[in-house]
Amino acid sequence: MKKLVQLFALIFLLSAAILFALDRLNATQGYSGENVLNIYNWGDYIEPELIDQFEKETGIKVVYQTFDSNEAMMTKVEQGGTTYDIAVPSDYAIAKMIDEDLLIPLDQSKIPNVKHIDPRFLDVSFDPGNKYSIPYFWGTVGIVYNRDLIGGDAITSWKDLWKPEYKNQILLADGAREVMGMSLNSLGYSLNETDEAKLQEAKRNLMELTPNIKAIVGDEIKLLLANEEAGIGVVWSGDANEIMSENDKLDYVVPSEGSNVWFDNIVIPKTAKNVEGAHKFIDFMLDPENAAKNTDYVGYSTPNKDALRLLDPEVAEDERFYPGEDVTDKLEVYENLGKEMLAHYNELFLEFKMHSK
């Protein structure tokens, strides 16, 4: 009898250990199955109530993880350790992921709400025919500045950032394309430059900006600028929009030399386990009411024309965040420069980052 009790105790302990190990595995590798949707999105990039609403409407449980750069996202999707059903890369990253066969072609018949997207955001160069991606948000890269803290003239150009009076005043968004692009544009070059001499010149130019750099940061850039820890930030337009509603001393400008116009689209990675649920999620996010609610919360510019009509006209008509084609035509989209050149941009950016610490 004693042996039997010991045997049961052993079986119990082993089962508990196996259940614990499986739970850990799920936590690190993502849950999978028909009733679960693994979403990989930028930080601060969805209205959380929409996740609850989607779960209630569909009975699908959402497991949500965030990233802070295209590079970090692509590395994780390529490694395949965690299998995501949804990811939200930007333009050049989408082109790269298509090239590397990392995405599933979308079934357009399951996304009827695509009719709400403004046609100017469809059939774009990085994904002709929207075979793999559906627009989520878009925007520009520019400069947000605090009129009181910097005093003097308004900032209008990238070149202004190198002025000695901005010592220790600048926060930069932590992105290789953004920072290298800023430097290239300030020198009058394209932000898709591949000429080595010009890239080295752009790096040296960045090194000269070091005394003015306070920090290179991720999503916390918004809090730091809103709390006036620095007077200037190089940011994505939606982040500027969000903090400008909290601090009326802030303004946003797209620099006169030119800048980047970017598009973040929703895709389904090849390793997805819940392709059906992923299509449901995409269609859900395109519903104009949901897209408007998401836009209100996130602060970024929506490509959804019918959601735009539901927004406060003051928001929808603000040309700083909804510039017309006359402005966006002068801006550049990041091109997919190929694996090696993108790695080179990263290296140059990292060298500058180490130098500016």
136 binds ligand SPD (CB under 6 A): no
Alpha carbons within 13 angstroms on the beta-carbon side of residue 296 total 15
* 219 vs 283, beta carbon nearer ligand SPD: 219
Cβ neighbours around 307 below 10 Å, total? 24
Q: Which of 43, 105, 188, 211 binds ligand SPD (CB under 6 A)?
A: 43
> Which residue is associated with the tokens 């084609």?
325
Stretch that binds ligand SPD, among 43-51, 111-119, 157-165, 250-258 (CB under 6 A): 43-51
By CB under 6 A, is residue 262 in contact with ligand SPD? yes
Q: Which is nearer to ligand SPD, 193 or 264 (CB)?
A: 264
Write the CA distances from 80 to 9, 11, 35, 87, 264, integer angstroms. 38, 34, 20, 13, 21
- Type and span of the H or E element at 236: strand 232-236
As a whole number of angstroms, the distance between CA 111 and CA 294 comes to 18
Which of positions 231-260 make contact with ligand SPD (CB under 6 A)? 236
Is residue 192 involved in binding ligand SPD (CB under 6 A)?
Answer: no
Number of Cβ atoms within 10 Å of the Cβ of 3? 7
As given in the structure block, the two tokens for residue 191 are 């932000």
**219 part of the interface to ligand SPD, by CB under 6 A:** yes
Out of 31, 42, 132, 349, the residue judged to bind ligand SPD by CB under 6 A: 42
Binding span for ligand SPD by CB under 6 A among 17-25, 39-47, 185-193, 205-213: 39-47
**121 is a contact residue toward ligand SPD (CB under 6 A):** no
Among 71, 193, 264, 287, binds ligand SPD (CB under 6 A): 264
List C-alpha distances in Å: 233 to 70, 159, 218, 315.
20, 14, 11, 21
Q: Which of 36, 44, 187, 229 binds ligand SPD (CB under 6 A)?
A: 44
Tell me the chain's radius of gyration from C-alpha atoms: 23
3-state secondary structure (DSSP) of residue 338: coil
In the range 54-93, which residues lie near ligand SPD by CB under 6 A?
A: 90
The distance of closest approach from Cβ of residue 17 to ligand SPD in the complex, given in angstroms and rounded to an integer, is 40
Site residues (vs ligand SPD, CB under 6 A): 42-45, 90, 219, 236, 262, 264
